[in-house]
Structure 1
Amino acid sequence: MFIDKVKIFVKGGDGGNGMVAYRREKYVPNGGPAGGDGGKGSDVIFEVDEGLRTLMDFRYQRHFKGERGEHGRSKSQHGKAAASKIVKVPPGTVVRDLDSGELIADLTDQGQRAIIAKGGRGGRGNTRFATPANPAPDIAENGEPGVEREVELELKVLADIGLVGYPSVGKSTLLSVVSAARPKIGAYHFTTLVPNLGVVQVDDGRSFVMADLPGLIEGAHEGVGLGHQFLRHIERTKVLVHVIDMAGSEGRDPVQDWEQINEEIKRYRHDLEHRPQIVAANKMDLPDAEDHLALFKAHVGPDIPVFPISAATHQGVKELLYAVADRLDQAEKEGIVTIVSEQAVLPEHKTYKSEEEKPFTIRKENEEYIVEGRRIEKLILMTNFNYHDSILRFANTIKQLGVEDALRQRGAKEGDTIRIGDLEFELTDSIDFS
């Protein structure tokens, strides 16, 4: 089964927890802190595997979670970082964040990798918090949570040559004649529902990958039928071979077919109208084909190469393949770049000039004041509330962030319940956690 669009959930591994520990050698009285740091959680990495041609595996497994880093140990031993979780994807996979629509990665080459969800850093052990004022701190951090996100995977077939045209014009038959591919062929519209790929060998030793793309219909650029699903596969091809039923065997007008398909391609993505095209005038073995061919050549002019063929009898197929190989060589020399996404290049660094995200927000719900914010919620997750020193450090941090002042400005009074994440406490001069 060919699957070219899926939605999945990925989560980087959480970092390991830091440890509170002290030296306990026999002849070392009052040993200092010796708690190790936790190890980093595993990243979730997508890697291109040329052996894959579909996203079907993601239909059955939609959750990918990295392993947690190892916890810190005594004697200042740091926990081991978790190995990265590698997820194989086919070449031509585009990865987007489902919430923001942000382009995360465009994976095209064998072995190419992209980190989709980073693992959290390990929490620091109490050796990291020793100071002259507090040489034996009971403070250790929990591991940082790994990044979690829902992403959409979209597969855009990678092929040098794309066969385009209306349904039942002979695209699948042509592909089966020139390659070892065996697409389903039937005497009815939309026999081809998914792209089929075949490797074409030219007699002079050249080769290229050809894709039989499902037939387009009027309104495809607006998503009519399966328009968008079909058209996105055209984006990757370097040369388009427009297959036309020159005999008009179903009462169609070859000229009108040519104009309509090109209009659909142009309106889907205007850049595509400049993609090199060759016309395969198919079904030349049928009546009226010669008359239609003369009218068609007069309409398109000398700039568009037209090759009369019959995929059924193999007439003119060899000449067509030589011309396709020559045009592909020319396109590669000219440096024709296929469209990979709305962004031609993935930026390595991003610069944001908008206002900085607020560290927290406060809202009142019934009798509770709820403090929310990514930074402060992360602080809670990484604070180990089993140790008094850790609690004091947390209280001091949120005070420095201005949470207490903001609460009082919102009308919070002594004894009011404050909730941050799953933690509740009463507002007092000395914060009382419960």
Structure 2
Amino acid sequence: MYGQNGGKSRSAGADGKDTVIEVPLGTVVKDENQHCICEVSKDEEEIIIVEGGKGGKGNWHFRSSVNQTPKYAQEGLEGETKKIILELKLLADVGLVGFPNSGKSTLLSVMTSAKPKIATYEFTTLKPNLGFVKYHDFRSFVMADIPGIIEGASKGRGLGHHFLRHIERNSVLLFLVPCDASDIVKQYYILLRELEQHNLELLHKQRLLAITKSDLIDNELESEMRKEIEQKIPQMTVTFISSFTKKRITTLKENLWRGINKSTKNLLRSKVPSLEDH
């Protein structure tokens, strides 16, 4: 916006009118070259992205000992022009990470009042869904269903870049792998590798693993699978769950609550092992 011209009778021009764009928390502002300008992380935070036009100075500013009533004033100045990109990254306590059809949307619908679309084909979820998980003593936390990641998502396969950015703002990452996967441990490490290649800082987040659809296996097989998983993924909290029968859903809530409130000094910072080892 242009600033108004300065005038006579000591009148300075008004600055250009503000243009205010209201955005949700978690919005990242980038320039047209994808360089980050700022992030909106506080409620009612005001950030100036583009300077508006300055008002011109009135004739009184230019008076001197030999010219007490100047006949000229300064014109208003033109404001900046800038192309910007607004990108939303969800703010959630828990982000669900898993391949398509791993049970993320079903789990979200069971643990919260959210009603995500659920089907048996890939990429049913094309945008993140949020839900509030009620915990003991009127406490709650926010869970985000991140659309299914595929191998190569960090390089842009599928809708990888659109999905992965939402994981950056989650405090805890809950990996979901179905019990009937051909190799549970390998699938976990493939998912972890995609996060690493997208943003190395994601490896510093608290991680938990849920084995879904565990109503399909008996207790003996579950015990054997647990031993193998805990040997190959050390220091990992593993919960066998079933959204269909609500098996251990309460236990999962308790594990997530502890993960959210866990001290940062206990975050997992281990190097991602080579997939050849699994």
Q: Does TM, scored on the shorter chain, surpass 0.5?
A: yes
Partner of 1:211: 144
Conserved? CA contact 1:247–1:292, under 8 Å: no
Matched, 1:202 2:140: no
User: Which of residues 239, 257, 264 in structure 2 aligns to 1:325?
Assistant: 257
Matched, 1:225 2:162: no
Structure 2 letter corresponding to 1:123: G
Runs of 4+ aligned structure 1 residues displaced above 6 Å come to none
Counterpart mapping for 1:156-305 below 5 A = 156-248=89-181, 252-287=182-217, 290=222, 291-301=224-234, 303-305=235-237
Partner of 1:366: none
Matched, 1:41 2:16: yes
What displacement does 1:141 show? 1.2
Identity %: 40
Which runs of 5 or more residues in structure 1 are unaligned?
1-12, 22-33, 44-84, 337-434
User: Which of residues 10, 14, 20 in structure 2 aligns to 1:86?
Assistant: 20
- 1:327-355, Cα deviation, whole Å (9 max, x unpaired): 11114x7598xxxxxxxxxxxxxxxxxxx
1-side partners of 2:173 and 2:195: how far apart? 11
2-side partners of 1:110 and 1:135: how far apart? 50
- 1:267-322, Cα deviation, whole Å (9 max, x unpaired): 11111112111111111011486254443233213x10101100111001100101
Counterpart mapping for 1:395-406 below 5 A = none
What displacement does 1:246 show? 1.4
- Of structures 1 and 2, the larger Rg is shown by 1
SS at match of 2:60: helix
- 1:19-75, Cα deviation, whole Å (9 max, x unpaired): 1x4xxxxxxxxxxxx2411111123xxxxxxxxxxxxxxxxxxxxxxxxxxxxxxxx
SS at match of 1:36: coil
SS at match of 1:160: strand
2-side partners of 1:308 and 1:143: how far apart? 67
What displacement does 1:109 show? 2.2
Structure 1 letter corresponding to 2:175: H
What displacement does 1:102 show? 4.3
Matched, 1:96 2:30: yes
Structure 2 letter corresponding to 1:144: L
2-side partners of 1:334 and 1:42: how far apart? 48
What displacement does 1:113 show? 1.5
**Higher share of residues assigned helix:** 2
Structure 1 letter corresponding to 2:173: L
User: Which of residues 241, 245, 257 in structure 2 aligns to 1:309?
Assistant: 241
1-side partners of 2:95 and 2:170: how far apart? 6
Conserved? CA contact 1:254–1:292, under 8 Å: no
Task: State the Cα RMSD in Å.
Answer: 1.9
SS at match of 1:277: strand
| CA shift in 2, pair 1:334/1:112, >3 Å | farther
Partner of 2:276: none
Conserved? CA contact 1:42–1:118, under 8 Å: no
Could you tell me the TM-score, scaled by structure 2's length?
A: 0.89
Partner of 1:414: none
| CA shift in 2, pair 1:300/1:153, >3 Å | same
Choose between structure 1 and 2 for higher RCO, CA contacts under 8 A separated by at least 6 residues.
2
2-side partners of 1:225 and 1:102: how far apart? 23
Could you tell me the TM-score, scaled by structure 1's length?
A: 0.58
What displacement does 1:234 show? 0.7
2-side partners of 1:306 and 1:335: how far apart? 17
Partner of 1:18: 6
The size of the alignment, in residue pairs, is: 264
Which runs of 5 or more residues in structure 2 are unaligned?
268-278
2-side partners of 1:167 and 1:278: how far apart? 18
